[in-house]
Structure formats: C-alpha cells, structure tokens
Structure 1
C-alpha cells in the first residue's frame, strides 16, 4: 500500500535527520528564504492533498526540522505540486535556489509500474504581492515558469545508506516585487529535505584606499555591475572615476581609479585606511609614503602634520621643500682687506665661520659715500662700478672703480643666504672705510676728423669717461705716419685745429686730457690725411663740369628707359632695366591680383602624409605653433615648426597667413628663417619652417642671463645683421625687427623671422607693444621716429630697430625703456633721449647703437657697414673689454648729432659733445 511505501521511505537511513549538516553561509551571498530554520510547520500549499506531505523531525542538535516527501509510485499519471510561501526579492535581479533532496531508486522498488520517476521539476511565479491561493495561479506550467528538471546525482535503495543530493539553480531577471517557488512531482519516491533561496553579492570592500559598497550581482551570470567608490577618510583622489565591477560570482574585479593618503597621513591597516602622523613626525606630500621624523631644527607637537615648523632663529627659504632642514643666516664675512689705487679700490674677504648650514651663500657689496661733516653716509650713485657685480656674488673679491678723488667711502660686505630675508634684522656684514687718492683722467675716447684741408686737420673728441677732476686742457700729439718725430699742441676745449701740415700726407693723431693730478693716457692712434688741394671751393668748381656732365648723361639714360617702357606698354620692363643684373629683388605678394598665385609661385606645396604634428609649443598670430616632423621622398626626416591657421578664419586672415609664406619663400640665407613648404589643400592650412630649438631670442637670453661671453653675444648680433643686410639688399623692409622675432637654434645661430605684415593693418590687436595714433599697429619701442610719425618705413628704420635689438642682446633680454609708457617713449626719443649702455656693455657697441639711433635717417649706418664693424670687433676681441658706465634706468640725453656727423662748427660741436656725455636726465617710470 502507499503507507507501506512511505514506511519504506521513512525507515531508510535518509530519514536520520542527524545527517543534515548545518547551513553554511558564503561571504558573497545573502539568504532570502531557508526552510532549515523553520521552527513550526512550513504549511506550504500542495495540490492535490494526497501528494506532497510535510514531515517533522530533529537534527543532531535536537532542533526541529521540516521536510516534504512524496512516494505515490504505485499510481500512474502523478502530478503533485508543492508551492512555497511568497518570497520578496529585495530588489535583486537574479536569485539562486539550493535544493537538498533524496530520491529512491525505482529499480529497488518491486512491483511498480513503468511510470516511476527519479526526477522532479522546479518552477517559479512572479507577482507584486502575496496573492496566490489554493487554486490560483493554475497548477500547470503556464503561468508558472520552469527553471529546470532536477535529477539526483545518486539515488538510494532500501539496503544502502541514504544519498543526499544538493543542487543549485538560478533564474532571472526578476522584475516584480517577489515570487513563489513550485515543485512538480510526476511519480517519484523522494524527500525534499531543505530549500534555500539566496542571491549573490559583492561585499563591502576597500581597494586603493577607496570604499566600495555592498553590491548585488547582475541579472545574468555573466553580468558585471559597476559599483562607485569613495575615498576613505583622510584620502584624496589621484585618478578618477573610482569604480569596481561586481561579477556574477560575487567577486570584485577590474578596479578603476585610486585614492591616496593626504599630506600628514600615512597608509595603515594593509592599505585600507590613512592614519595621522604622530607628534614629532610629518608627511609633506600626498601619496603612499610614510611619516618621517622632523628635519633638523624643526619640531611639531600636533598629529597629522604636513610640515614641521622651524625652531626660533631658524628658517626655510621659499624655495626649500618642507622636508628640508631649517637653517639660519650666516655670520659676517671675515678679514676684509682693502687696497686703494687712486680712485679704484679692491676688496677681499674670507668666508664666515658659520654659513648658516646652507649651500647658497652669496655676498653683497654696499657702497656708501661719506661727507666730511657729521651727516650720515649715503648710497653711492650708479656711476660707481663694482665688478663683477654688486649683489649675489659667489666670489670673495671685487674691484670698485669710478670713485671720486679725495673722498671718504664706507663699504659693507654682506653675507647672505636663502633665508636672510626671513630674519627681520639686517644681514650680517663687515664694514671697511677708505679714502680715495687724487687720480689722473682716463683715456680720451676715439678722436674724430671734422674737416681737413691741404695743411689743416680739424679734430674733435669726447671728454674722458672718468675725468677724476676738472679737465684743465687737452694735449694733441701728431706725427707723419712712419716718422719718429712728433709734435704737440694744446686746446682748452674738446676740439682743435692742427695747422701747418703737409698736403696729401697721412698723420697719426692721439689726444690726452690733463687735470691737477697730471696727464691721463693717450687715446688710441687714429690715421687722418690732409687733402691734395688747398682751396676746397676751387676743387669743387674744377669738378663741376664733370658732375653736370655725368648728371646729364644719367638723365638721358633714364628718359630713354621711360620712352622704351611706354612704347612697350610694360612698366615692369622699366623696373627690370633699372635693377642691376643678377640681383634678386623681393616681390610683394599683395601686388598679385590673386594672392594664392604668390603662394604657389614662391612656396612649395607639401603632401599632408609627409607631415606629423607631435606637440603644441606656442601660439602664433593666426593659430597654434607646433613641433613636428617632415619626411619627404628622397630626403631625411627632419624636425620642423608648424604654424596652423585657426578654425573659423576669414578669407582675409587666410590671405595674410599665407602671405608670410609667400614672403619667406623668396629668401635663402643662413640667418633668415627657412620655409620648407605649405599645405593649402588641407584643413587646417599649415606653414612648415625649419625648427629652432632655443626659441625666441629675448626669452632665451632671459633664461641664460650672464652665461655668454661678450664675443658670443657679438656673434649673435653679427648673424642678425647679416640676415638684415640680405633682406635690405633685396629691398625688403622688415618693420618689426625685435629680439622676440629672432629665433635661435641649438648652435646659437640667430635667424630673422616673423614676416607677417597683417598686424600693421589690423586695428583690433590688444597687444600694447603695437600702438599708433595714426591707425594700424606699430611696435613703438623698436620703431624709428619717422616711421611712427609719418609711416615712413625704410631700411634705415630697420637699422634703428636693429640698434634696439643690440641693446636687448647686451642686456640679456631686458625690456627697452623699462616700464615707461609708449607715449613717454615717443616723447623722450623726440627730445633726443636715448637708451643708456647696459651693464658691462663695451663702449664700441654702445657707440654703434647710438649711430643706429641717429635722428637723421641718412646718417644711420647701412647694414653692410654694421656687419663689417662687427666682423672687426670679432677679430679684435680686446676692443670689447673697454666697457661703459651703466646708467641703471636713466635715459641718456644727446644734445645733438653724434661726433663725426655734426654739421655745426668745431667749436660748437665740441661743446655739444661735452654736454651730451656729461649730462643725464633721470626719467622716473
């Protein structure tokens, strides 16, 4: 009977509930329902009533446990259903069902029909609430959803021990508030020992100092669920976003982003937390490092310190890192020794006994002039020259020049290091007092020839740079070249006329000045020659017919050329007849009816596949400037500079942008930037030039202040002048010559660049460098007066600009006219003020600058003469050692034109020249 079969089932070892092992819980799962913990009847719904039967028992701990059994194997066509209570899903998308069951082997049951089964089916039904009844939903596969047919791994017979099978199945995605489980028996003899419903999750974890919350797995077994993270306390993000992926097995994987401990906190707890540094330790930076003891001469009593404050009397410089030791100011220099030589002084000293514990010790020398009364000493003026410099010296020796004779001075030799400015007291220093002696004047600068006749030489010169007293008179020594006998004459002024000379004879002339202390040194020998004819007016009259004849012949040639040009109806024919054969002449691209024709004529079109842009290195007038590489067929790959035309350009901007390429394409000189080609068919439009590693000259000099010899600086100036001579010979006027528009390569070769003329036509520029009241933009500080006033740009105005470039180079990129306004600059230049010589500027270079700044443009030197002059200086480097005084911010007032160009009488000229170099007018800016 059925009871007999149930007894067979119950009496089997399977019903020994002590075999049921206690539940195990994974860190990666959370249970929604577990029948093993039921303490009362489960009372699940069954259909029909003669099917599943709830049976109670006890486990080995004598705790009650509830199971369901069925064994109607004698009756065919079994369809027994068992449905659990409602299970809320708690928002999870996929759940797992763990089934523990046993099944009787059909072969071990005698005399049963062939309908005996050893399997059962698992179903689920979703709903928004607990709405199921005994008859709803219907007991069939639809509306239930089948999960799987469950088969045992092992069945049992009456004669052997029970076999407990454990099966886990999952289903999803779930969308409603909860669900029911249902079990269908189709004719098996089995026991459903326990049912556990759970979902998998990734537990709360800490990775890379970021906390990731508990996260349920996804709807599918292969799903990855993103969990956002947050830094642990006292940590900061170093890369974002912070996230981890939770896989279907409840395991974290693929961490993205990380945090790290902030300054003052170090990793702890196996990198899961950041703990504060204990008192006496610090951590100055965020990161994985640990707290370190406070550096020397510093302490901290607080927790979480990111710096240890210095002890009293000790400091850190602004540039010192927080983990550096605290230091103090040095003691005064020792054993200061002075040696006076007329109006010069040498000072030497020894290092302080205590340098403060730093390695950046330097020395300052402060000069003070003391009057004979009891009034306090005052700072020396800027004419006093202290070499190698006044401030920031590492040497322990200086030479002081240009002191006044018979004057008392006090010198402070200060020892200074990086923390001297932190101490409210003055730097420690040693003082030495000296009194200068009487001194003879210095040498007279170069002598100039004002006029010569057959028997006279009219001469002028500048007063000595250091007169060292009142000049009583000048002695002029002259002798025929090659003769030993010399003659002398004296003059009360800085000019003289030497008479009684032989006609057409070269003479060597030298001049020296005299004060109450005696004569100074002679000037350098100068060669001058008298004329052949004694009457200059007659000489002109004799040559007048020849001059008139030459002019007439020239006029006839010009008229003939004009007639030919008119007949040919081609004015360009006249132009090419007037230009010397073989001379290449610059052609303005804006004269072309279509500017694109100029680009195609003078610039090579490059295929876009040959160009590779690597990085942006700056911004240009029309767009970005990049560094890249150019690889053309048959040529080596080369580094190039690439100018880009920014997006949204107008047609005028495109024309102006490509006009610069049309201009550059006409030039071929080692001191002019070389055009490699253009890309006009690409987007963006590109201009390719050679790459200059050291960039713009002004910023390059500022970065390398004081690192070059004067010969190297003159070599740079020579290269710029050579490039400008080439452009001038081609009849090209640059109009914006400045150190910012000179590029420098790795070999210190300077090249003229920036040929874009649009800035002179564009009134919208906000650059204060370019200003004009006449419309258009002009670089006031670099532009000649006639170009500012009348827009008269010529090669002579470029020479003026070159003089400013000379000043920029020698001053290592200082701004011309400092922070004076453009209007003040124009006013000062119009009143004949000129820039003073920069510090340590050779006299010959400043003299050349002043010649470039002649108000009368026709008196300015040509670029060919500038190149020749610089070549001579490079061959005779000794001439660069004679330096001028530094005016330190005061403009130099020139009373008239320079010597050699003065159209006044010799008497007036020498007085003007004397005033020029002896007067300065400070302009406070």
Structure 2
C-alpha cells in the first residue's frame, strides 16, 4: 500500500478520536460541515494540467452506517504544482461578515520522500471569494483572495500519523454567499474535515433587560453594541444596551432596568408586591412590609393606607408609618411673679400619648372676663418666647391687668393635628387642650416710675409720668396726687400746693418766671391708700430773656441746615463730573496698572457658612418640582445625570433648561457639595456666565436648574465642526469667554478649572463659563490665592505655580485661558496631544510651549504666549485680554497674518512610523493615528490601500475621494507632508 493509501486507512481510524476533541463555549451556527454532509460533497477540483494529473482526489468511507469523505493530494515530485479544491456555494446570513473555518488535516514530512526534498512542500493555502449567486463549475482563480497559509503544527512521519486542527478567519463578507478554495503547491496532504461556522451571542436576559440573539462582530468590530428592552413591568430612563464580543460573549451591560412601582425583581422578572407589602417607586429594591398603623389589602400597592384613627402629615413620606392625635397636656398651673407685677409663668406636663410623633408643639390662648363677657386678651399681652410653636412646656405671660380674671388654654399640636379627631378603639377620644382660670390681684396702688417735662414757658410747666403696672383701658382709672413747691434753701419752712388728678399728666399754671420748682407724684388706691411717692424732681420756668434768646437760636439753626444742604449738593455734582472725565475705557490700555477699582459686589464663599443650606437659600431661588419637566438625558456629572428639560414658573413663559440631578443613595456631604455649585452660580449675573435658574432642595430629589445651552460643551462642538468657522468667529468666541472671566476676577474669584470642556455654547455661538466645582474665592489682598494641600488638578490647563505650590490666582486662570485659546483655534484638539501628565510638566518646566495651531492668526498666538509667561506678574489681566480681542475684532485685517505652523509638531506624527517606531502597517492605522478614521472607506473605494500610494497624494486627490471639510482636508494634507519628512520624530522636544 502506497503512502496515500496508508494515510486514508489511518484517517478512517482516527476520525472518532479527533471528533471528541473539539468543543465550543460560544453559540456557533454552522454553515458547512464536511463530516456531517453524509453524501457527495460535489466540490470542484482544478489543475492547470488536468490531463496529466487529476489533482485533489476524493475518497469515500463508511463509518457506523454513514458516508465519510476525505480529500487528499500527494504530487511531491513534480515542480510548479497549482492544484485547487473549491467548495460548493455557501449561503451567508445578511448580518454575518466574518466566518471561522476549522480544518483537520495531515501533512507528510518531506524528508520521508527520497529525491523529492527540493520540490516537496509542507503547507497549503486557503482562499475565499464573495459572490451574489452560485457560478456552478465556472472557476477563475483570479476572483479568489488569499485568507491564510496553512502550516501543520505536527508533521506525519511514515506510519506515525499526526492530525492537525487549525481555525482561520474569513472577513469582510458582504455578498449573498461565498466559496472557499484550497491550493496545493506541492505538498502531501489529506484534508479530513472542513467546518465553516460563525459565532453569535445567544438571546439572554440580564439586569431585567432582554437582548436578542446577535451575530458576533468581526476583527474590525470587536464589540458590537446591541440594544435591548426591559422585561414586562420594568422601566429604564435610558435604552439598555450590551456588547457582543467577537467570541460570542455578552459583556458590559449598560442602563439597568428597574421594576416599576408596585413590582419587585424575582429571577430576571418583575413580580407584583403581595398584600401587606408595597413599593413606592421604580427601583431595584424589594417590596417592603407596610409600616406601623398602615395596611395594604391589594397587590401592586405603591403605598400602604393609614388605619382608622391614624394619619400622615403633609410633610410625612408616603412610605412612612401613620400616627395618631396627641392627648391633652397635663398639670397646667399659673405661678405669679412676685418681683414683677402683671406677670405670671404658665407651665404644664407633656401629653401622656404623643400619637407616636416627635414634632410636638404647643400654643397658648388667652381670654379675659369683664363682667359676663369672655373676650380675647388682645395684642397687648406679651408672651416669652411666644404663644405659638412652643417646644418647651412653659411660657411667661406679662402685661396683665390687675383685678381681672383670665382663662388660659394650652393646646398641643403635631403634624397630624389638622385632621379631625376620630373615635379611637374602646371609644377613647383624645383631647388636645388644657384650660386654666386665674386672676391677678394687687392691694397696693401702682408705682410712679418716671416723670418728665413736656413743655414750659415763663409762667407754666407741662409734666407727665409713667406708672407700673400700666392701667388697661377696661380697668378702673388710677387717681394721682401731685405736690409742688418753690425751691427754697430755707428747709424749716416748706409749703406745697397739692393737686388731685385722674390722668398721668398735668399743666401747672400761674408760676413765677425764671423760678425752680420741686415736684413729686404718688398714686392713690381704690380704698384711699396712698402709694409710694416719687422722688422730688426739679423743673424751672423760662425767664423773659430766655424766650428771646430761644427764638434767635431757632432761626440760626434753620439757616445752618439750609446752608449745609446747599454745600452737599455742590460737592456731589463736582465729584460726579470729575468721575465722568477720569473714567478709563477698556480700549485705552493694554497692560493695566495693579491699582484697579474693586467691584461693587464681592463673591462670598459658601464654604464659610456653618450651615451650607443657608448659603443655598440666600443665593439661589427655590423651585417647586412640579414646575420642572425632564425630557432627555444629555450627560452625566460627578453627582448624577444631567437632563434637558423645561421650566414653567407661575406667571412666566416656559423656557428650556438643563437639570443636574443628585443620584440616589447620596450622603449629606455629597448633597452639600452638590448644592455648593448653585450657591456659587447664584452670585453671578453676566451674559458670559451660565445663568442659574434655581434649585430644588426641599424635596427628596435635589436638583440644580440652569439655562440650556443647545450646542453643549465647546471642545466637543468644535471637534464636530472642525474647519467650519473663520478666525474672526473663533476670536469672537474667545472674547465672550474672556469677558466672563473678567467679571469673575473683578468679583475676587478664581475658577481653577477653566477649559474648553467647561465652556458651554448656545445656538448664537455665545460662549458661557460654567462648572464651578473646583472654584474658590480669592482673599482680599492683591496677591490673594487659594492654597490647598491636596485635590485633583487638571495638569494640561494649570499654571506651573499652581501645580508646584497649589497657588491659585487670577493669573493662573489667565494661563488656563491661554490653553482654552489654543483649544479653540485648534478646533478642540487635546492640549499636548498624547503626552502623559509627567511629560507635560517636564516640558513646561523646560520652557516648552504649545506651537501655533493650523491657520492661527499670529496676533492670537502671541497673546497665548503672553498668557503662558513663567512669571505670573507679567501675564496680562482679563481686562487687558478683553481689550486686545476687541481691537482684533474691530480690525479683521489683523487676523490675516498667520503664525508659523510645523505639522511635525502640531499633528504629532512620527514620520512614517506607528506608535512603536515601525512603519505604519496600513492606511487605516495611519488614519486612526491622526483621528481621521472615518475616511477609511473613502481611501479603500479609491484604491488607495498602501502607504506608498498615500505619499503620492495631492490636495486634489484628497478632495476627489470625498474629504470636503476644510479642517479635515488640511489635517490629512499636513499629515502627508509630515510623512514625507523622514527626519520627523515622535518626541516633540526634538523640534
């Protein structure tokens, strides 16, 4: 038996062993299986000299009643072999662009053939060809493209048969079907098995979202994004999706679904809450048992209702327990104040039953008895600390009338006191108030507390005095006895004139001019008893000369007041005129002097408040959530998601807004940090600073609501519109940013994170500064800084002194503005490209500065370099920057002079090298390195498939393949220029 016959014999005995070795974990869909066909394969064989040799031969065997076929060839002694074996037409599913070809074969060792070692080969080739229809027996090898050279891992030596298994990948399938072909070039081969299959991710349910079976992507699409849908009774704000790998495995689920309110997750499904349980909102949480004093008799309950006689306050969460009405306070007593007439202390004990609540307060109500009338005490009664909202079980009551009866009622309140009292079990009905009747009796007349002169002339004195306690309007009038006499040094003779009065004032007439009188007053009781007399006080009538002198003085005072008013008006007008002439316009200076006027308003750091919530309420407007409508998620911040929505405040028209939310499960510190940004924004009012509409703080979900900027972040917007704006438009954007920063610096405020990603753009291309999360206030001194011992720093945008010493000033913001200028003129390019942070810091310290972007005006680049001066004192101020940009905008010709541009530096190309220094292996790799991979298909369709062809392209060639945007056209053209320069290097420091 020859070698080929022995191979066929041994193959037949090895098939079973080899058949159990192959296993697959991913789901595989087989398109062709040579072993499982069981009949004539009908594969086409072809050789250039069909008459000499037939090429590949097919052998049929029977195994366990099934037909088994193999193909073999062994023309090792003949030169220039070119023997082809082509499969039948293999149908392709529309979504399959890549298939796997598993081969089992035997290759004979060439050394085992005598005299044939020079012509013998130990490999064969695998080819493929796309086709829209079966071409039958027509065969043209020019239509096939090579997939791989197949080489054995183990070579068969004589009787020692070794079966090899190799899997190759056929990619870029796009037509209705395809053929596979095997080319022999002079080897001794036996092809045992050919199995063609593709991989798919099986249909699955993950995180309450179902995903369909999905064909795995090819090598050019390692991860295929697949959208799913939530299972029944589940919800997700974002469409859930997952990724299918090229190996047919699901990875990285995104956008978890949550069971609706009233449902809980049970084994990848949402099951309704059972009676006695509830779930208030959509979440991944389980249903909870009903809280105290509540019940739920139905399934799918969103909350549990209160039992009879129990209630929830309006501010109580619907998920909380219910509580009953409090009982009445106990032991109400009144204790008079022995030192202060007309004052007493009310005290009581708390209620025995608070109804299960802790928000207990008390109120006091007073009534007085006048005969048979029961009247309110009125506003003249004083309570300390108050008569409502009392937390303590006592209150001081003063300004009470003597000899009157009073009724005091103390009522207990809680959050549910507004609800009517309902019968409780065992017919118990709580009472919420306690009543006390009391009166104040005084046996002594009131005391005179003070006496004063009301008016006087040469013959009369008008006097009045106060008494304690004060008489009430409804009480009996107090009678007084007044005695006065001339002041006389003769103590042994004292004569008083006594007057009986029924009011606390008197006019004494018929007195002598220029004479001193001593006066005293005492009150009289109802029984005629006299009270304590006041001390004698001296009052003097006017003399005739004093009357004339008084008139002269009064006239002089009037004249002086008129003169003073005239002088004030003259000084005011003079100062206003001087300020008008000396005010300096923004265009009158380039670098201003350090002495500048402070703004009228200065920023207040909310972190200085002991309670950050106070700062929020002071600087931000509270918005009710019902006035806000969320529409679409547009991003995610540090604390939660960001929505586009609308705000419809009462009496105002509806406006579009951006809504920042606080993610569930936050800590109190996270909430305070979240709202601190609103406390900062609320202090600013400028057209180039993002406007705060308000906040939501008094409800469960905290929110910050700002104006909506339609075009989003500046860096992304510029990247999406690369090359579409003129230099004049870009400078206009920079002018707006500089104006906003000038306003902030005049507020004594430093931003610390100024970057294009933190600038927002509206439809009018108006730029506004945003994101105040890293911001801090400057101190009052001119060199004021914010110094921190830690925290993240955006290295690429931060001044060297801020990186080295954590020293942040408006000058460090100016450095950051220079980087923003570079980002804008480079249409959103990443500063310092792919350099690491360490490389960036080292380069800056070695005096490297970013080169001019492509087509950047020279004047703009020179301003960037001024912003990047090492000495911060020499950098321009934002007022200077605004003035210079205004000049450039007013003189468009000043923007025509373009700064020098070096593509080797600006595009960061390593000549014709990849990231590892070796030549680019493909056009797609080169395009990806310059971030222009979206044009890969354009180059392929144009037949530009090698780097040599790329180097021959001119601007017209680039346009002809479909590159139209000016910015993209320049990027590709400058990249080719850099590729041609063989001296270019990867490191920017060599330039």
Normalising by structure 1, report the TM-score. 0.55
CA 1:86–1:490 in structure 2 vs 1: closer, same or farther (change >3 Å)?
farther
Kindly indicate whether the alpha-carbon contact (under 8 Å) linking 2:686 and 2:740 is maintained by their aligned counterparts in 1.
no
Match of 2:126 in 1: 122
What residue number does 1:418 align with?
415
Q: 1:42 deviation in Å?
A: 1.9
Per-residue CA deviations over 1:757-798 (Å, capped at 9, x if unaligned) read xxxxxxxxxxxxxxxxxxxxxxxxxxxxxxxxxxxxxxxxxx
Q: Is the contact made by 1:438 and 1:517 (CA closer than 8 Å) also made in structure 2? A: no
Q: Which residue of 2 aligns with 1:696?
A: none
Q: Is the 8 A contact 2:334 2:438 kept in 1?
A: no
The answer to whether the 8 A contact 2:458-2:543 is kept is yes
Residues 640 and 148 of structure 1: CA distance in aligned 2, closer, same or farther (over 3 Å): closer
Instruction: Give 1:157 shift.
Output: 3.2
Q: 1:521 to 1:17 in 2, by over 3 A?
A: farther
Report what 2:19 is aligned to. 21
User: How many Å separate the matches in 2 of 1:497 and 1:210?
Assistant: 96
Pick closer, same or farther for the CA change 1:294–1:641 going to 2, 3 Å.
closer
- Take 1:395 and 1:520, find their aligned partners in 2: how far apart are those partners? 41
For the structure 1 residues 65 and 517, does the alpha-carbon distance in structure 2 shift closer, same or farther, using more than 3 Å as the test?
Answer: farther
Task: Give CA-to-partner distance per residue, 1:55-90, whole Å, 9 cap, x none.
Answer: 33345x654433322334455443222222222332
Q: Deviations over 1:540-581 (max 9, x none)?
A: 58x59x989x999x99x99xx9xxxxxxxxxxxx979997xx
What's the CA shift for 1:21? 1.2
1:92 to 96, 109, 123: 96
Find the partner of 1:310 among 287, 306, 313: 306
How many angstroms does 1:690 deviate by? Answer: 7.8
Structure 1 equivalent of residue 157 of structure 2: 157
Distance 2:284 2:604 in 1: 39
- Pick one of 70, 79, 82 that aligns with 2:82: 79
Q: 1:471 aligns with which of 472, 477, 481?
A: 477
SS state of the match for residue 592, structure 1? helix
Residues 606-654 of structure 1: per-residue CA shift (max 9 Å, x gap): 89xx99999996479xxxxxxxxxxxxxxxxxx99964432499xxxxx
Report the 3-state secondary structure (helix = DSSP H, G, I; strand = E; otherwise coil) of the residue aligned with 1:420: coil
Contact (CA 8 Å) 1:471, 1:515: kept in 2 or not?
no
2:523/2:530 contact within 8 Å kept: yes
User: Structure 1 residues 220 and 524 mapped into 2: Cα distance closer, same or farther (>3 Å)?
Assistant: farther
Residue 123 of structure 1 and its aligned partner are, at CA, apart by 0.7
Alignment match, 1:761: none
Partner secondary structure for residue 18 of structure 1:
helix
Q: 1:297 aligns with which of 277, 287, 293?
A: 293
Give the distance between the partners of 1:642 and 1:477, measured in 2 at CA. 66
List per-residue Cα deviations over 1:173-223 (Å, max 9, x = no partner): 222232111111223322222222222344445555544444433342563
Structure 1: distance between partners of 2:480 and 2:154: 131
2-structure distance, mates of 1:482, 1:95 = 131
Which structure ranks higher in relative contact order (CA pairs < 8 Å, sequence separation ≥ 6)?
Answer: 1
Contact kept, 8 Å, 2:367 with 2:407, in 1: the verdict is: yes
The count of residues paired between Structure 1 and Structure 2 equals 606
**Counterpart in the other structure of 1:397:** 394
Structure 2 vs 1, CA of residues 450 and 178 (structure 1 numbering), >3 Å: closer, same or farther? Answer: same
Q: How does 1:168-183 map to 2 (within 5 A)?
A: 168-183=167-182
Q: Is the 8 A contact 2:329 2:434 kept in 1?
A: no
Q: Equivalent residue for 2:925?
A: none
Choose from 584, 588, 592 the match for 2:580: 592
Tell me: CA distance 1:516–1:465, structure 2 relative to 1, closer, same or farther (3 Å).
closer
**Which moved further from structure 2: 108-117 or 310-319?**
108-117
SS at match of 1:190: strand
Separation in 2, partners of 1:604, 1:20: 88
- CA-CA distance at 1:20 after TM superposition: 3.4
Q: Give the C-alpha shift of residue 298 in structure 1.
A: 2.5
Counterpart CA distance in 1 for 2:595 and 2:290 is: 65
My pick for the range that moved more, 481-490 or 350-359, is: 481-490
Aligned ranges for residues 391-790 of structure 1 at < 5 Å?
391-401=388-398, 410-425=407-422, 428-432=431-435, 434=437, 436=439, 449-454=453-458, 456-460=460-464, 464=470, 466-471=472-477, 473-476=479-482, 489-493=499-503, 495-499=505-509, 529-531=539-541, 533-534=543-544, 536-539=546-549, 587-588=575-576, 592-593=580-581, 595-596=583-584, 604=596, 618=619, 643-647=684-688, 683=741, 685-686=743-744, 688=746
Task: Return the TM-score normalized by structure 2.
Answer: 0.51
C-alpha contact 1:640 1:690 (8 A) present in aligned 2: no
Q: Helix, strand or coil for the counterpart of 1:19?
A: helix
On the 8 A contact 1:84/1:180 being kept in 2, the answer is yes
- Give unmatched runs, 5+ long, in structure 2: 423-428, 608-614, 622-679, 691-736, 750-991
CA contact (8 A) 2:223 2:244 kept: yes
> Match of 1:358?
357
Closer, same or farther: CA 680–175 of 1 in aligned 2, 3 Å: closer
Query: Cα–Cα, structure 1 residues 177 and 538, in superposed 2: closer, same or farther, change >3 Å?
Result: same
Aligned partners of 2:520 and 2:537 also within 8 Å: no
Q: Secondary structure at the match of 1:55?
A: strand
Match of 2:276 in 1: 280
Q: Please give the root-mean-square deviation of Cα atoms over the aligned residues, in Å.
A: 5.2
Instruction: Give the superposition deviation at 1:124.
Output: 0.7
CA distance in 2, matches of 1:146, 1:218: 21
Query: Quick check: 1:55 aligned with 2:59?
Result: yes
Q: CA deviation at 1:351?
A: 2.5
